[in-house]
Chain A
């Protein structure tokens, strides 16, 4: 389905990013795993990719730093020769009530979760424009649509990603590049594992499909949007949330 394609996945070492990397590899793509700090986890993802006989590379980069993003893209082009698919998955949280939220917590989250997406899109646009084809998939969140107390920074950034997705889609459509977002609901990852039992039960009561999502659920949506089957879809946000948010 994706054989001969090269994917760049940010935040690819763990959680949703790892599942996405593996899913794209299983569909035939070679994958460059971008990670911020956890080298061992990134290596583990790369090993799993190689086990399905695809090429994998790990590259450390802070997506909020233009210089690091540009050099990561350069490295990928040198070792893989092309970039067909970009998955902007890297994200962090610094949750707090707004009254208690430090300016730095706002900046860090918006820099990584929103500016990082912009910088990565900007960096891969050049090679994609030249080839007149490309797939860009941004991981947003349903809280970017519904809002969530205690996550003003995260929610603002994730809502921003949806707007950025729409603009990029319109800007790049004439050159055969599609840009879509995936908005996961509550997915079982390290990020949500820290939540207490009470919060989990409260969450569960809001999910019509009555279970938390798995990283693989999100990966399936990403794989679809990266495939030829999604060639006529751009500027959209696909919810992967068990029916939690339906508008």
Chain B
């Protein structure tokens, strides 16, 4: 969990240009971290590479918070 969260955090910080301290589990990717739809797309592509998985458009649309991403990845591991 901690490892997944760290890796997810790193990608979010890198792709969205936000401060690591802002990336809490409850943070909403769009509302709190200011991502637009293309940013989200970008982040998803990066997550796919990092975790060697494919995230379908339907699954991607369900993602709202940082926790959602971690939960999704852990469920697929």
Q: Which chain A residues have a beta carbon within 8 Å of chain B's beta carbons?
A: 126, 129-130, 171, 174-175
Contacts and interface: CB of A to CB of B under 8 A. Distances in A.
B41 interface: yes
Interface string B28-66: 000000000010011001100100000000000000000
Interface of B: 38, 41-42, 45-46, 49
Chain B binding surface, main DSSP class: helix
Contacts, number: 11
B45 A126 contact: yes
A175 B45 CA distance: 13
B14 to A, nearest CB: 12
Nearest to A130: B45
11 contacts: A126-B45, A129-B41, A129-B42, A129-B45, A130-B45, A130-B46, A130-B49, A171-B38, A174-B38, A175-B38, A175-B42
Contacts of A130: 45-46, 49
A129 B45 CA distance: 8
A124 to B, nearest CB: 13
A218 B40 CA distance: 37
B10 to A, nearest CB: 16
Nearest to B39: A174
Nearest to B41: A129
Given A174-B38, A175-B38, A175-B42, 6 more contacts: A129-B41, A129-B42, A130-B45, A130-B46, A130-B49, A171-B38
Nearest to A127: B45
